[in-house]
Structure 1
């Protein structure tokens, strides 16, 4: 049986490489996107991976989309919570919208998506959930109280859900990437990029395919003994 995997934010950056990696490995992948229709359609045409649009910060949209995916492709056995945004500004200048937007998209989305797939996973006795966090949820970062709080919250969420789900054959793990060479990092001014790179012991930015490799390990059928774990992939920049 080919397992169905949903990747939120699955058409760009790390999410796109995760989608492609799972597709290549034989999983039936559905990549979520929200607003970038042109980019999503281009990704679909280039990879052959189906794309579906919904807002992960909206519970009803998540619920309806998971039901739609189950009807079209089969029940969701694998969920990768990767969607995320940034609204960087120091706290004493941060408008409430910047706080709420990031918390809802980056953290509440984990509840929204997991809540919709968990009942089916429990009934079938199998599930794999991987939450994509961030080095900045572990170490903090200036101007990212909202983002760091959301990503740190994701780690606690991962551990609690792992404890609840282990007896039902469901694993829940987190990956915390460091600075990975995606469009977001490429948009940073070169002088700033050099400063960041100088702080990474391996001397380079990560490759998004390295994150995809880790996801493939965590979702494997025979990876049942790994749950509640946080895998840091950051080139040695932050060790906990």
Structure 2
């Protein structure tokens, strides 16, 4: 699954699943750009230690112009773009009566509009063999507890976006796929958190994933071996949705 000489942009790549994806793609041979809102020093050092070039770009995904500028900056710094991983997302939960229109707008701006804008900005740079990979969620298929109306709806929208873009871009040799994690051990959803025992119970394997397990699937989808895979939603969720 080597992608030697490729360039990947991972949005929201400073921590959690995004950082694991960036590190894995670097290990497989890609130079890396990540977007972040704050500090990305850790992932920058990890990628450098793997001998790959890396650039961190500050960008708020809720700002469409900033998303476009981040893609252009990544290409300017690293010379090309072959793989786009749309990982950055907002996770706003709560009873529908307590959520406002501003919450709706921010959720969909970050989780749906930003990936679409990033794809639009990336397309002039992606050629034959280009890869567009979204990070979805298990709760697009199954909402196990109340309060997920915005997040679940936004991640479900990515399923349709993936299918439609897969159809549209296939003739150009560009694949579009969605990797949908289940419960994953990150600082936002730790495996030892207050609700972890309940969440583990929804899976078939009885545990959280580690971010590297999600990154491994992303790496396959980004690889040349996955050239016949497009428009697909791929679950890495420990059986959460079965």
Whether the TM-score (by the shorter chain) exceeds 0.5 is yes
2:149 to 123, 130, 145: 145
Deviation of the 1:22 alpha carbon: 0.5
Moved segments of 4+, more than 4 Å: none
Return the offset for 1:57. Answer: 2.3
Count residues in correspondence.
233
Please point out which of 151, 172, 187 is paired with 1:168.
172
| Structure 2 residue aligned with 1:63 | 68
What secondary structure sits across from 1:186 in the alignment?
coil
Instruction: State how 1:179-198 maps to structure 2 within 5 Å.
Output: 179-186=183-190, 189-190=193-194, 192-198=195-201
Residues 7-26 of structure 1, C-alpha deviations (whole Å, 9 max, x = no match): 00111100010000001111
- Between 1:136-145 and 1:10-19, the stretch displaced more is 136-145
**Conserved 8 A contact 1:58-1:112:** no
1:42 Cα deviation after fit: 3.3
CA shift at 1:149, angstroms? Answer: 0.9
Shift of 1:55: 1.6
- Other-structure match for 1:118: 123
Compute the TM-score of the two structures, normalised by the length of structure 2: 0.91
Unmatched tracts of structure 2, length 5 or more: 49-53
Q: Is the 8 A contact 1:8 1:31 kept in 2?
A: yes
Distance 2:193 2:76 in 1: 45
Q: 1:104-160: CA deviations, max 9, x gaps?
A: 111111111001011332xx3331011000001111352111111110001100000
CA contact (8 A) 1:175 1:232 kept: yes
Q: TM-score, normalised to structure 1's length?
A: 0.92
CA gap 1:187/1:204 in 2 versus in 1, 3 angstroms: closer
Q: 1:201 aligns with which of 191, 198, 204?
A: 204
User: Which is further off, 55-64 or 162-171?
Assistant: 55-64
Given candidates 72, 77, 80, the residue that maps to 2:77 is 72
Return the alpha-carbon distance in structure 1 between the equivalents of residues 186 and 216 of structure 2.
16
Shift of 1:188: 7.2
Return closer, same or farther for 1:42/1:189 CA change in 2, 3 Å cut-off: closer
After TM superposition, give the deviation of residue 225 of structure 1 in Å.
Answer: 0.6
**1:46–1:169 CA distance, 2 compared to 1 (3 A):** closer
